[in-house]
Amino acid sequence: MKRVGVLSLQGDVGEHVSMLEALGSEVVKVRTVEQLNSVDGLVLPGGESTTIAHLLGTSGLKDVLGAKLEQGLPVFGTCAGLILLSTVVLDGRSDQWSYGALSLSVRRNGYGRQIASFESTLDVKGLGGVPGVFIRAPRIESYGDDVEVLATLDHGDGTGEHPVFVRQDRVWGASFHPELTGDARLHELFLNSL
């Protein structure tokens, strides 16, 4: 059986763990390098990207995960996790760093503040309608040729369609929270890619 990790430094760890366990995988809550070394794939949860980035540094996981991303570790980042995987972070903190594993430029809180959180049904390539919960979600402003766009959303704010679910090689990203719904198909897609 494949072992999948959920980075467990901050954010909505428990919901990802429950969803992955319900799909029958062995789940490791990753807080140490040893735990990171034991998994076949990793989920980066939503939360606060600056806090998770800080804790990646203090835990010693930052560079090890960077090297693993370069070596092709499958990783699925949701919301703050997507921000951490992107190349360019707009409206970030001045010292905000990110891994650049996804050729994306993302704007933090690009859909508005907490009060502007919303749910939307997304038409995901190959799956059809999948519910998405957007909470202070990053908005993907531009992307490279190597990014496969699997779902887009027009939020009706006049800026047109933006990608909300993407894949680049073995790295997946969603600007929303698939773990906060009863629909586990995106996690299943990720698990099937391990």
162 is catalytic: no
- Which is nearer to ligand GLN, 3 or 54 (by Cβ)? 54
Pairing of strands 139-143, 128-134: unpaired
| Inter-residue contact 85 to 44 (CB < 8 Å) | yes
Q: At 52, which amino acid appears?
A: I
Closer Cβ to ligand GLN, 59 or 117, answer by number: 117
Report the nearest approach of ligand GLN to the CB of residue 24 (Å).
26
Could you say which of 15, 16, 162, 179 is catalytic? 179
If the CB atoms of residues 51 and 159 are measured against ligand GLN, the closer one turns out to be 51
Nearest-approach distance from CB 3 to ligand GLN, in angstroms: 24
**141 belongs to the catalytic site:** no
Which position among 16, 155, 162, 177 bears the catalytic label?
A: 177
Active site residue 179: yes
CB of 107 to ligand GLN, least distance (A): 10
Marked catalytic residue, from 16, 79, 155, 187: 79
Nearest alpha carbon to residue 176 among 97, 117, 116: 117
State the nearest-atom distance from the C-beta of 90 to ligand GLN, in Å: 11
* Site residues, ligand GLN (CB under 6 A): 46-49, 79-80, 83, 108-109, 135-136
Active-site residue numbers?
Answer: 79, 177, 179
